[in-house]
Every structure is written in C-alpha cells, then in structure tokens.
Structure 1
Amino acid sequence: MANFGESDDLVSAEFRGVDLSGARFVESDLSRVVMRGVDIAGGDIDAPWLFEPGSTLLVNGVDVVSFVEGQLNQRFPGREVRRAQDPDGLRAAWDALERTWAATLRRAAAAPAGTVDVSVAGEWSFAQTLRHLVHATDVWLGRGIMEAAQPFHPLGLKHGGDTTATTDYAEVLVARADRMAMVRDFLAHVTAEDLDAPRKNPHNPDHPETVRSCLHVILEEEWEHHRFAVRDLDAIEAPPAA
C-alpha cells in the first residue's frame, strides 16, 4: 500500500482513472478538491471546519453544508447555540454543553472496563479526548482570555502530544471537571463589555481575537470533540460484522 506524508507535494495533482477505494486521508487539506464522475458510495467525510462562514460542499451541484449543520443540531441539542453573542446566550450554550457531556460521561462509565482507553482507527481514546479538552481550555481561556503565562495542566494533551504515557482516568476526570468549572465560573460573571475586549490569538499573537471569539473556539472544540467521542463509542459498542 502506498503512503504519502507531509513531504509529498500533491497540491493541484490530477488523479485520472485511479483506484482510491479504501484510501484514508487523515488531517489532510482537501479544500477546493474537484471530483468528477467518481464513485463515493460508502464514503465517510469528517470535516470539522465545514461550518466556518463561507464554506461550501457541493454534492452533485447541491450545497449540503446547511443540511449537515441541521442534522448535527438535531442529533446534539444545544449545539445550535454555540455561537451565541451575548452573556445570557453563552451561559445557556455552556449549560447545554455540560448536560450533554454529563450524559456521555455516564455512558462511558457504564461501558466495559477499559473502554475509555480504546483507540478507534488510530484516533484519540475517550480519555485522551478529555485530556485534549483540558488543554484546549487552558489555551483559549487560560492563555487567550485570562492571558496567563503558564495556564497548562500537566494532563492536558495537545495535537502531536505524547499519547503513549499511562494516565489514571480518575485523575483525568478531576482535571476535566476543574477546567469545565473554570469556564462556567468565568461565564457566570462575564458582561457584554467583557465580551468585546480585545485579545490575541494564543497560537498566532498577530491575529486579533476578542473574549467572545475565544469563547466561541472553546465551544466549537467542545462540540466537535464530543461528536468524535460519541462516534467512537458507537464504533466500540457496535456488534462485530458477520
């Protein structure tokens, strides 16, 4: 099987009459890809940035972005208010998110022992997903909003971080609960004026943000990784193929 990595330049490459059945694209930039006369039956696309303003995805000439957005909002009630603009709306958005995660944590707790450490198709395990959300909170609340010099919890997991270290799930739950409480406490007292306050993007200080936009990133991270976690729990619990 051929493998292509970051060093392979396939920008604007043309594939004509090739067989890509069963191919897997991970963390790849496929923006503006054009496919004509292709068979994508059974294809599986996961595009977290699909819902950014101006994004389109045409299938047989039909833009399906709004349809996919609506379906996800039905599947995950509360997701539809993740871009709330005012303090009350953001507080309601966080409350909905906390209720959703609480139900999913109960589901994981009721699963067979070891489920939280299972990786599906090389993706992060449930426990690692929670660790990443600890890190995301530290980046966008701790550094981005609060502008702390060192906001990072030792259990936080960033992209490209070490996934081989053994971590105690109970400790992960404590760290996760602490970071969720930090967001809840911040939102409890935030004002409309606070939301407009300028901030710097923690990954790119030259890119301006506001407190509001940082909170929106936190909510997006939460909902996307919740979707990943539920997807993988479904896969783990699915009966084996006959």
Structure 2
Amino acid sequence: MTEFNADNDLQGATFTNVKLQEARFDRVDLGGARFRSSNVSGVVMRAVDVDRSEIDAPWLYDGSFMVNDVDVVPLVDAELNRRFPGRSERRATDPDGLRAAWAAVQTAWEAILQRVATMPDGTTDISVDDEFSFAQTLRHLVLATDNWLGKAVQGREQPFHPLALAGLPESTETPTYSEVLEARSSRVAMVTDFLATVTAEDLSGKRSNPNAPDWEETVLSCLHTILEEEWEHQRYAVRDLDRITGGQGRAAEGV
C-alpha cells in the first residue's frame, strides 16, 4: 500500500497513468491539485479542508456521493433540473416522452446558439481551462449521435461524420463554425427523424455497446446516453460561455 504523509514534498508533482488504489494520504497538502479523467470512486476523506474545491462528475446521478453523511446526489440533480428546464425529462421511457425530451433539449440549445451568435467573432474557438471550445463541443455531440444512434442503434458501417470529435485534437486544421453548425444540424435531424417513428417495441431492442461490444444495451439506453450527452455538454457550454463573458479563456489551438 502506497503511503504519503507530511514528509513527502508533492508540490508540483505530476502523476500520469499511476495506480494508487488503496493509497493513504495523511497530513498531505493537495491544495490546488487537479484530477482529470481519474477514478476516485470509493475515496474516503476525513477531516479535510475542501473550501473552493470543484468536482465535475457527469455520472453522479448513477450512485451516491456523501458529504458530511448527506447523499448530495439528489440535491445536485434537483438543482441542475431547476437551472436547465427540460433536463428532468431526459430519462423518459416511452416514444412520446422521448420525443418531448429531445424537443426540450434542442429548444435549450437553440437559445444558447442565439446567445453565441451575439458574441464577438472567435468566441466559438475559445477554450476555458483546456476544455472543449464551443465549436468542439458541438463536434463532440456529432460524435455522440454517430456513435450511439448511427453505429449502435442503426448499425451503420460508416457512421461517423468527418467533423465528429472525440478528445481534444492534435491537428492544426480548424473547420469553420458554419461547417460545424451544418454537421450538428444534420445529426439533430437524424435523431429527430428516428424518434418520429420509433415504437415501444423498438425501444426494447437489444444492441451492443459501441465502445464495449461485449456489453449489451437497449435502444432505449442508447437514446438515454445521447440525451445525457446533450444535457451534460450543454451544462459545460453554458459554464464556459459565462466564464468567457467574465474574461476567462483562451483561443483554442487548432482542431
């Protein structure tokens, strides 16, 4: 078992692809530390100072998160539903409910697109804290649609749009914002068209998880993933647009 204590100087240390399961930290100063794409499930913290700490856990609704013996998951979920009207519909289980849920999230996105249209040129390529820029966020949602509808549900052999984006790219080639909007619009229409005719029987159909083929999904669970992606990335987009308005952010490097 790895142990860290006050005798270890970890200031400025970087840990990448390090396994620290069951590690113990005693009187360790982690002030200002950043954890990205890390598994901290089951972590226990006692007598800790968490002032000004930030946690972003998009799968928080799927478990529990205890703070001072209070499970805050329902509280966070309720607050996000309040901030984002329509979000509470994202787990609908019948065709009509799914159509309403999709319409709600796209109505919310339309308001954000209108907001962005009033902002200075270049705003859509600004990254905050090395996160997706707004244009990259839309490209990632293109990927989510292609992966979970085009590939998983519809079984398309070549489901991915050329502008679909997974992680932060290394290429210096940047599509125009209008090209990104066109790609995004085509994928919104693809989901809308699919939902227009989907039946309850269709929703129970079995599919392979597009990222882990041995894991079974249903058409319904694939659509739920698309809706979760839509709302989570909308939350990120609103957060970062607010920060850009407040003077944070930098121009994203080429995509």
Normalised-by-shorter TM-score class: over 0.9
Instruction: Report the Cα distance in structure 2 between the residues aligned to 1:160 and 1:115, rounded to whole angstroms.
Output: 17
Aligned match of 1:87 in 95, 100, 103?
95
Cα displacement (A) at 1:204? 1.2
Cα displacement (A) at 1:90? 0.1
Matched, 1:180 2:188: yes
Aligned match of 2:14 in 3, 7, 20?
3
Aligned match of 1:118 in 109, 114, 126?
126
Matched, 1:197 2:205: yes
**Secondary structure at 1:122 match in 2:** coil
The equivalent residue for 2:75 is: 67
User: Judging changes above 3 Å, is the alpha-carbon distance between structure 1 residues 140 and 88 closer, same or farther for their aligned structure 2 residues?
Assistant: same
Task: After superposition, give the CA deviation of every residue in 1:19-54 in whole Å (9 maximum; x if it has no partner).
Answer: 1111111111110110000000111110001011xx
Q: What runs of 5+ residues in structure 2 fail to find an aligned partner?
A: 1-11, 249-255
The equivalent residue for 1:40 is: 50
Q: Which aligned pairs between 1:21-170 and structure 2 lie closer than 5 A?
A: 21-52=31-62, 55-159=63-167, 161-162=169-170, 164-170=172-178
Q: Number of residues paired by the alignment?
A: 237
Residues 128 and 163 in structure 1, CA contact (< 8 A), matched pair in contact too: no
Instruction: Report the Cα distance in structure 2 between the residues aligned to 1:216 and 1:31, rounded to whole angstroms.
Output: 23
Instruction: Report the Cα distance in structure 2 between the residues aligned to 1:37 and 1:221, rounded to whole angstroms.
Output: 35
AA at the equivalent of 1:26: R
Cα displacement (A) at 1:4? 0.8
Runs of 4+ off more than 6 Å: none
Aligned match of 1:14 in 24, 27, 51?
24
Instruction: Report the Cα distance in structure 1 between the residues aligned to 2:170 and 2:225, rounded to whole angstroms.
Output: 23
- What's the % identity of the aligned pairs? 58
Instruction: Report the Cα distance in structure 1 between the residues aligned to 2:169 and 2:212, rounded to whole angstroms.
Output: 19
**Secondary structure at 2:217 match in 1:** strand
TM-score, L = length of structure 1: 0.95
Q: Which aligned pairs between 1:201-216 and structure 2 lie closer than 5 A?
A: 201-216=209-224
Instruction: Report the Cα distance in structure 2 between the residues aligned to 1:215 and 1:159, rounded to whole angstroms.
Output: 21
User: Judging changes above 3 Å, is the alpha-carbon distance between structure 1 residues 12 and 165 closer, same or farther for their aligned structure 2 residues?
Assistant: farther
AA at the equivalent of 1:10: L
Cα displacement (A) at 1:239? 5.0
User: Judging changes above 3 Å, is the alpha-carbon distance between structure 1 residues 232 and 160 closer, same or farther for their aligned structure 2 residues?
Assistant: closer
Task: After superposition, give the CA deviation of every residue in 1:142-196 in whole Å (9 maximum; x if it has no partner).
Answer: 0011001111000000135446431111000000000000000100111111111
The equivalent residue for 2:229 is: 221
User: Judging changes above 3 Å, is the alpha-carbon distance between structure 1 residues 190 and 47 closer, same or farther for their aligned structure 2 residues?
Assistant: same
Instruction: Report the Cα distance in structure 2 between the residues aligned to 1:86 and 1:9, rounded to whole angstroms.
Output: 42
**Secondary structure at 1:215 match in 2:** helix
Q: What runs of 5+ residues in structure 1 fail to find an aligned partner?
A: none
Instruction: Report the Cα distance in structure 2 between the residues aligned to 1:162 and 1:186, rounded to whole angstroms.
Output: 33
**Secondary structure at 1:209 match in 2:** strand
AA at the equivalent of 2:152: G
Residues 196 and 210 in structure 1, CA contact (< 8 A), matched pair in contact too: yes
User: Judging changes above 3 Å, is the alpha-carbon distance between structure 1 residues 163 and 224 closer, same or farther for their aligned structure 2 residues?
Assistant: farther
Residues 132 and 168 in structure 2, CA contact (< 8 A), matched pair in contact too: no
